[in-house]
Structure 1
Amino acid sequence: MKQLSTIFAVGVLAIFLSNQALASDAGHTSEAMEHAGQALAHGEDGHAKVLVEHAEKALQHAKEAEEAHAAAHKHMTEAIKHMEESIKHGKMGHADEGAKHMKEAIMHMRKSGH
C-alpha cells in the first residue's frame, strides 16, 4: 500500500515537472525524479533489486541534468552522492537505508530548482 501511494505522488510530481521541463529544459531532472520515486517506493517495500534498477536510472539522468544545469550543480551533485549510496546499500540488501538516501537525493533535486 505504501508503494501505491508513493507511486501516485511521484506520478503527480512527474506531471508537474513535465510542464516545467517544457519551459526550462529540465527533462533529465524530471526523469531522475520519477525513477528516484520508484526507487524510494521499492526500497520502502523491501525490494532491494528493483530499488537498484530505478536508482541507477535516476543516477544516469541526474548526471545528465548536472551537466545541463551548471547553476544547480551543488544540489545535483549532492543528489548524485545520495543516489550512489542508495545503490550501494540496495546491492547489500539494505533497502531501508537505500530508501533513506533516495529521500535525500529527491530533496536535493527539488532544491536544484529544475
Structure 2
Amino acid sequence: MNRRNFALALGLGVAAFVAPRVALAEDHVAEAISHTKEAINHGKQGHADVLVTHAESALTHAEAAQKGAYNLHVEQGASHLKAAIAEGKKANAQGATAHASEALTHLEAAKAKAKK
C-alpha cells in the first residue's frame, strides 16, 4: 500500500470514528436545551422542585455532550445548571431560574457553533 492510500485509509478511519461522537454530542446538547427550557418554565411558576428535576436531566445531557466533543459553552452551561440545581434545592426558584436562563444562553450558543 503506498503512502497516499495509507493516508486516505487512515483519514477515513479517523472520520468514521469521530463523526458519530460529534453527532451524538449535538443530540445531547439539544436534549439539554429542551430540559433547560422546561426548568425555566417551572422556575417562573415557582416550582423549584420540578426545576431541579429538569436541570438535573439537562446537566446529565450536557455532561454526556462534553464526553463526545468538548465545547466551552457546554462547560459554562453545565456550571450554571449546577448552580440552578443548588438554588432550586434551597427552594429559591427565582435564583435557580436565573442560572437556568444563563445555562440556556450558553447551550444555545454551543448548538449554534456546532451547526457552523
Bin the TM-score by the shorter chain: 0.7 to 0.9
Q: Which amino acid aligns with 2:46?
A: G
- For normalisation by structure 2, the TM-score amounts to 0.73
In structure 1, the partner of 2:65 is 65
1:56 Cα shift? 0.2
In structure 2, the partner of 1:50 is 50
In structure 2, the partner of 1:41 is 41
Give the Cα–Cα distance (whole angstroms) in 2 for the partners of residues 66 and 100 of structure 1: 23
Question: Root-mean-square deviation (CA), in Å?
Answer: 1.4
Q: Which amino acid aligns with 2:94?
A: D
1:111 Cα shift? 1.4
Give the Cα–Cα distance (whole angstroms) in 1 for the partners of residues 52 and 81 of structure 2: 9
Give the Cα–Cα distance (whole angstroms) in 2 for the partners of residues 100 and 69 of structure 1: 26
1:41 Cα shift? 0.4
In structure 1, the partner of 2:109 is 111
Q: Within 5 Å, give how 1:87-106 maps onto structure 2.
A: 87-106=85-104
Superposition misfits of 4+ residues, deviation over 6 angstroms: none
Q: Give the paired residue count.
A: 90
1:69 Cα shift? 1.8
Who wins on radius of gyration, i.e. which is larger?
Answer: 2
Q: Which amino acid aligns with 1:89?
A: E
1:94 Cα shift? 0.3
1:99 Cα shift? 0.4
Q: Which amino acid aligns with 2:43?
A: G
Q: Which secondary structure state, in structure 1, belongs to the residue aligned with residue 91 of structure 2?
A: coil
Which sections of structure 1, spanning at least 5 residues, go unmatched? 1-22
Task: Output one character per residue of 1:49-82: Cα deviation in whole Å (capped at 9) or x when no partner.
Answer: 1000000000000000111122x2x111110110
